[in-house]
Amino acid sequence: MQITRRRQTTILLMVMGVLTLFTRGVAVGQQTDWYPSPWGADDQRGAANRLSPEEVLAARDLITTGQVYQLGRVYEAGMPVFGTRHFSLKIPYPLGPLGENQTTAHEAIISGELGQVGTQFDGLGHIGIGDLFYNGLSRHDFATPDGLTMLGVENVGPIVTRGVLIDVAAYKGVEMLDGGYEITRSDLMGALTQQGVSISTADVVLIHTGWGSLWMVDNERFNASEPGIGLEAAEFLIDAEIVMVGSDTWATEVLPNPDPSLAFPVHQLLLTKSGIYNIENVATELLAADQVYEFAFVYAPLLLKGAAGSPGNPIAIR
């Protein structure tokens, strides 16, 4: 077959088009209506853009008693982790004694998928739809062995804003929701109404399921499934324009998903499509026990250059 120069050009353009589709999402069966982000095609911070001094001042005004809640879990060997992740902490022999003053120094040597074990903050480089991540960025353009050159957690910055606890377990009248229970929009709205609070733009929303009571008590069950929000409830939170959602579970979303063909779809909807952060294994039981539904929330991800997530010990102040 002889191909004219013009036809060559036509074919080349079509090839390029197909290739572009391949690398920009159509090939993985996704809509392309989720990027560029509302914060521009160059944005790497997602819903952190909703934070502002006004939010800080509003959070400040929620501080009335000075009580501080520590919402992180203890990082320790034997805590439940997903798949082949690990967490190791060892104490080497001390340095020294040094000098006439005999200084001795302990260090801790730590390894693991920090940012994906224990209390963990999911950055925008963590979850993709096929090769595409937040803002339609292809991992082929930003993932390197030495770190993500875009969407790393060092871009997020401190999160100081109003926090709201939604105690769905209490709303449903149980100590702990069942594994696999999908928290619905109706659950969230009902619990909020019962609590007498509402959520608004730039909030951090923490959902108490009671599942955290299995932590270090029945790790196998803790890991096997979990109650959590489904796609519908996630849409509710997206509509509310929050900054971050979190829970006392290891994924925040219901597992397994009621649709068995889907794997972690809520992560994609929140992080990849909406730029909304997710923090997992939060010690929400402390707030639930005291019925603290509104508080100043403070958390600053570690500036781990190019990391997909961060460990953390977020706090609530009221």
115 vs 212 by CB, closer to a copy of itself: 115
Answer yes or no whether residue 55 interacts with a copy of itself by CB under 8 A. yes
Chosen residue from 18, 20, 31, 41 binding a copy of itself by CB under 8 A:
18
Q: What is the CA radius of gyration of the chain?
A: 22
Cis peptide before 97, with omega less than 30 degrees from 0? yes
107 vs 290 by CB, closer to a copy of itself: 107
Chosen residue from 33, 144, 196, 220 binding a copy of itself by CB under 8 A:
144
The span from the CA of 270 to the CA of 47, in Å, is 10
Chosen residue from 20, 36, 41, 98 binding a copy of itself by CB under 8 A:
98
Contact mark string toward a copy of itself, 238..277, x via CB under 8 A: -----------------------xxxxx-xx---------
Q: Which of residues 213-232 bind a copy of itself (CB under 8 A)?
A: none
Query: In 184-280, which residue ranges form alpha helices assigned H by DSSP?
Result: 185-195, 219-224, 231-239, 265-267, 274
Min dist CB 172 to a copy of itself, Å, is 27
39 vs 264 by CB, closer to a copy of itself: 264
Decide if 247 contacts 125 (C-beta within 8 A).
no
Answer yes or no whether residue 100 interacts with a copy of itself by CB under 8 A. yes
Chosen residue from 80, 125, 210, 246 binding a copy of itself by CB under 8 A:
125
33 vs 146 by CB, closer to a copy of itself: 146
Chosen residue from 38, 40, 96, 258 binding a copy of itself by CB under 8 A:
96
115 vs 171 by CB, closer to a copy of itself: 115
What stretch of H or E contains 120? Answer: strand 120-122
CA atoms within 13 Å, Cβ hemisphere of 256: 6
Chosen residue from 23, 26, 39, 56 binding a copy of itself by CB under 8 A:
56
Amino acid at 249: T
Q: Which span sits near a copy of itself by CB under 8 A: 32-40, 85-93, 183-191, 200-208?
A: 85-93
The number of residues making up the chain comes to: 318
Q: Which of residues 176-195 bind a copy of itself (CB under 8 A)?
A: none
CA dihedral 288, 183, 270, 287 (to 10 degrees): 0
The span from the CA of 185 to the CA of 194, in Å, is 14
- # binding residues, a copy of itself (CB under 8 A): 107
Q: Which span sits near a copy of itself by CB under 8 A: 105-113, 185-193, 203-211, 235-243?
A: 105-113
Decide if 177 contacts 227 (C-beta within 8 A).
yes
The span from the CA of 232 to the CA of 225, in Å, is 19
- Helical packing angle, 231-239 and 185-195, nearest 10°: 50
Answer yes or no whether residue 5 interacts with a copy of itself by CB under 8 A. no
59 vs 237 by CB, closer to a copy of itself: 59
Q: Which of residues 23-42 bind a copy of itself (CB under 8 A)?
A: 28-30
Decide if 70 contacts 283 (C-beta within 8 A).
yes
What are the phi and psi torsion angles at 20 (to 5°)?
Answer: -60, -45
Min dist CB 310 to a copy of itself, Å, is 8
